[in-house]
Structure 1
Amino acid sequence: MDYNQLHLQYKEESLYGRYITLKDIKPLLDKYTTEVIGHSVLGKPIYKYSTGNGPTRVFMWSQMHGNESTTTKALFDFLNLLQSDEPLAEELLAEYTFCFLPMVNPDGAERYTRVNANEIDLNRDSETLSQPESQLLRQTFDSFKPDYCYNLHDQRSIFGAGTDGFPATVSFLAPAFNEARDINDVRIKAMNRIVAMNEELQKHIPNQVGRFDDSFNSNCIGDKFTSLNVPTILFEAGHFQNDYEREITRKMIFIALVSGLRYRNENVVVDNKKEEYLNINQNNIVFYDFIYKNVKIYYDGKEIITNFVAQYKEELIDGKIQFNAYIVEIGELIGFYGHYQYDANNKAFTSNGISTPIINQKADFTIGTSTIFVNGIKI
């Protein structure tokens, strides 16, 4: 199957970039027969859409963290496929019954924050269910009675797949159900499907698929649902080279969704792909957005050659996300990589007459006498 062509054909062109709010998806939802299942803290509607008549029930939700929108874009690409006359769509709808919550945290999406309007991380609220959004997610889970759960998220650009300098463009997790992180048939089902998705993604982004840490936390929704004996898969949409708007990553999530759903291993565990799952490179924090190497600076009155790094902050300004680079660390930085790397070849750093990078200041500076960097990038 030509997944690249499939995505090109069904990509939802009205959704682009990182700032996706309820206003953006409402016209798309109006094309479907949706249900408002409740409201957010600030009274925004939370929508549910169901389709398909197959025996395997799949529950997917996105943007429970408001600033994690890549999977929402991919979800609407996938919905466009399901509503098409493709034989694949007919096949999927005959095999599965789907339930979607495309935006669990519309208040956080509007403010571009991880948390909801009460400053609560909904992915740490699975035990207390203190928030209306958490309650609606759990109520949908209880009423829909899924056979699989797909928990759709974004992760920061700091993660690599392993430690060899490959960004973790997509990462997965079959969450634990207890502190011991034991592996039972429920986790095996999730692992098997992750292995199927990884096998396809390796054709598109070799070495750029990661495996998320499986430390157990019952307050996390994936761990909670796995403990309730439902195979749950965490999706983490990460960084692809020079793709800060995550348009390539959205395609990879779409490919993962479709290829994973085409993998058939329902109800009875025929294969045990635990080893293949554990062989997926584990996520590691090994990246900064910018690394500047072999820079001459003055530190404690001494001239030294060292490295420093900068990181983007995603800042919502006038309704748009701006990527603003700030200096965050100075030192040897052994084992770290930059999505953007520059070798100063022992030339001196200056910024507004100061010869030492200052933590938390904008990454606007000069290397040597004439190499100028603005917002982290050489101009």
Structure 2
Amino acid sequence: MTQLTQINAQELQKNLFDSYEQFQEKAITKRRFGHATLVNLLEKLKSNPLFDVQIAEKSTEGRAIYQVKVGNGPIKVLLWSQMHGNEATATMALMDIFNFLGKDTPAYSDFKKTLLERCTFYVVPMLNPDGAEAWSRYTALGIDMNRDALALQTPEGRLLKKLVKTLKPDFGFNLHDKDRRYSAGQTGNLATMSFLATAYNEAQEVNDVRKKAMQVIVQMNRGLQQYLPNCVGKWPSDFEPRAFGDNIQKWGTSLILIESGGFKNDPEKQYIRKLNYISILSALNAVATKSYVNETTETYDALPVNEKAIFDLIIRNVTIQKGKVSYVADIAINRGEEPVSGDDDFVNTSTVEEIGDMSVFFGTDEIDGKGLTIQAKKEISLGMKADFTLLKNDEVKYVIKNGVIQ
């Protein structure tokens, strides 16, 4: 069996990155989209004989949960996204991957042949369609299905357990989003993407099953460093006995968790979607060619663990007036989103999160407020909306509107 070298694996990611727009699913342009959009795309996919598209289960509220099968090789790979309904970045990337596999592109014919002859892929995009429709982490029962691996109280959880037990996949990919403000270690670098080979016991031991997941992650990270230098993290590996990822690793499938975080000026996560696309395809290449076997777990261990070290905006050393008291402090601000009921959209929000010494934290955006005075319609306080101006000698230097520098 021909194995790609590390250099060729990186070249593959670069080629995938450069040609991405050919395969990007144009029907999805923002991360909040409904179940109907997904259904339309998957129903169209049925016209391509390469794909076997089936309804695998119905959700609590009766929505179809689809499974897509592609390939006919001996290595079985199970991928699922949106077990948390409001985590849609990887679902977008999976639609792009379907386009990649389904299009006749001579430049990638050998690569696709390798994937589809050596692997069989089982994909469940939008495992929690009720949560996706409500833009909620939880299922319609109010249960976090990623804590339902033992009790199996949800139809979505029962489906995932059934797929793992009947298919017995060699590899699994558990695709998530996380808070965009996680950092790669205690740094100011956003952990735009993070990985984890989930623990299968409290001792966090490494057996052959978990080791393979670590080795694949090493290859994924190496390629991503071209586009995210020092911005790839590792999710904390604490064992959670109710979680699917931890149990699936215990049940014998090499489980890779992918968490999509934040990237500056990418609110709809379209750049992160692209990075998911190249990362997942490069991982599938590593699985198909077994090029991961020479990787060391030490490289995996060296990945920085996710920390909460970043705010959206920090104004440092600004003068604040509180009644008759004037003092100098830092102000940390976070921006948020409130979903619009009945619409695939958000209302932007902002909050003053901290006032004081923020010297051990970082801002995605920062302002040096030394010599500046903050002015607002009411006194600055925790929890208030971030609307104010920064003055120097009564002259406006900065305008902050809803937490954004104007």
TMscore range, shorter length: over 0.9
After superposition, where does 1:225-264 map in structure 2 within 5 Å?
A: 225-264=248-287
Structure 2 residue 140 is the aligned partner of structure 1 residue 117: yes
Determine if contact 1:297/1:306 at 8 Å carries over to the other structure. yes
Q: Is the 8 A contact 2:84 2:137 kept in 1?
A: yes
Match of 2:403 among 369, 376, 379: 376
CA contact (8 A) 1:149 1:232 kept: yes
1:141 aligns with 2:164: yes
* Alignment partner of 1:98 is 2:121: yes
In the alignment, the residues of structure 1 paired with residue 287 and residue 167 of structure 2 have an alpha-carbon distance, to the nearest angstrom, of 21
Q: Which residue of 1 aligns with 2:185?
A: 162
Give me the whole-angstrom Cα distance separating, in 2, the residues matched to 1:267 and 1:376. 47
1:31 is paired with a residue whose SS is helix
The answer to whether the aligner puts 1:12 opposite 2:25 as a matched pair is: yes
Q: Normalized per residue, which structure has more helix? A: 2
1:299 shift after superposition: 4.6
Q: SS in structure 1 opposite 2:326?
A: strand
CA contact (8 A) 2:119 2:288 kept: no
1:66 counterpart = 2:85: yes
Deviation at 1:166, TM superposition (A): 1.2
CA contact (8 A) 2:286 2:292 kept: no
Structure 1 residue 274 corresponds to structure 2 residue 297: yes
Q: CA deviation at 1:300?
A: 7.6
- Partner Cα separation in structure 2 for residue 272 and residue 11 of structure 1: 31
Partner of 1:181: 204
SS in 1 for 2:187: coil
Equivalent position of 1:332 in the other structure = 357
> In structure 2, how many angstroms separate the alpha carbons of the residues matched to 1:268 and 1:147?
15
CA gap of 1:8–1:266, structure 2 versus 1, over 3 A, is closer
1:164 is displaced (CA, Å) by 2.7
Contact persistence 1:287–1:337 (CA under 8 A)? yes
Distance 1:269 1:163, change over 3 A: closer
1:351, distance to aligned residue in structure 2 (A): 2.2
1:196-249 alpha-carbon deviations (Å, 9 max, x no partner): 101111112111111111000011111010111211000001111211111111
The CA distance in 2 between the partners of 1:122 and 1:332, in whole Å, is: 39
* 4+ residue runs over 3 A deviation: 264-272, 298-301
Does the Cα contact within 8 Å between 2:200 and 2:249 map onto a contact in 1? yes
Which sections of structure 1, spanning at least 5 residues, go unmatched?
Answer: none
Distance 1:253 1:322 in 2: 26
Q: Which residue of 1 is the match for residue 101 of structure 2? A: 82
Residue 322 of structure 1 corresponds to 347
1:301 is displaced (CA, Å) by: 5.1
Matched, 1:51 2:79: no
Deviates more, 1:171-180 or 1:38-47: 38-47
User: Offset of 1:162 from its aligned partner?
Assistant: 1.9
Secondary structure of the residue aligned to 1:30 is: helix
- Rounded Cα–Cα distance in structure 2 between residues aligned with 1:79 and 1:117: 28
Name stretches of at least 5 consecutive residues in structure 2 with no aligned partner: 1-11, 47-52
Task: Give the letter aligned to residue 139 of structure 2.
Answer: N
Report if the CA contact (8 A) 2:88-2:176 is conserved.
yes
Residue equivalent to 1:289: 312
1:25-59 residue CA offsets vs partner (Å, 9 max, x unmatched): 11110123421122112111111111100111000
Query: Contact 1:56/1:266 (CA < 8 Å) preserved in 2?
Result: no
After superposing the two structures, state which structure 1 stretch, 211-220 or 154-163, moved more: 154-163
CA contact under 8 A between 1:60 and 1:150: conserved in structure 2?
A: yes
Query: How far is 1:268 from its partner?
Result: 11
Contact 1:289–1:340 at 8 Å: present in 2 too? yes
TM-score in terms of structure 2 length: 0.89
Letter in 2 for 1:336: F
Q: Aligned to 2:131, what secondary structure does the other structure show?
A: helix
Q: 2:130 aligns with which of 104, 107, 113?
A: 107
Q: Pick one of 176, 183, 192 that aligns with 1:153.
A: 176
Alignment RMSD: 1.8
CA distance in 2, matches of 1:268, 1:251: 23
After TM superposition, give the deviation of residue 265 of structure 1 in Å: 7.5
Kindly indicate whether the alpha-carbon contact (under 8 Å) linking 1:35 and 1:48 is maintained by their aligned counterparts in 2.
yes
> Structure 2 counterpart of 1:72, which letter?
T
Alpha-carbon offset, residue 90 of structure 1: 2.2
* Counterpart-to-counterpart distance in 1, 2:346 and 2:36: 16
Segment drifting more, 369-378 vs 303-312 = 369-378
- Aligned residues, how many? 377
Match of 1:348 among 355, 373, 377: 373
**In 1, Cα distance between equivalents of 2:36 and 2:247:** 31
Partner Cα separation in structure 2 for residue 199 and residue 81 of structure 1: 22
Give the Cα separation in 2 of the matches to 1:180 and 1:262.
Answer: 31
Distance 1:8 1:180 in 2: 44
Aligned residue number for residue 39 of structure 1: 58
Query: How high is the TM-score relative to the length of structure 1?
Result: 0.95
Q: For the structure 1 residues 265 and 335, does the alpha-carbon distance in structure 2 shift closer, same or farther, using more than 3 Å as the test?
A: farther
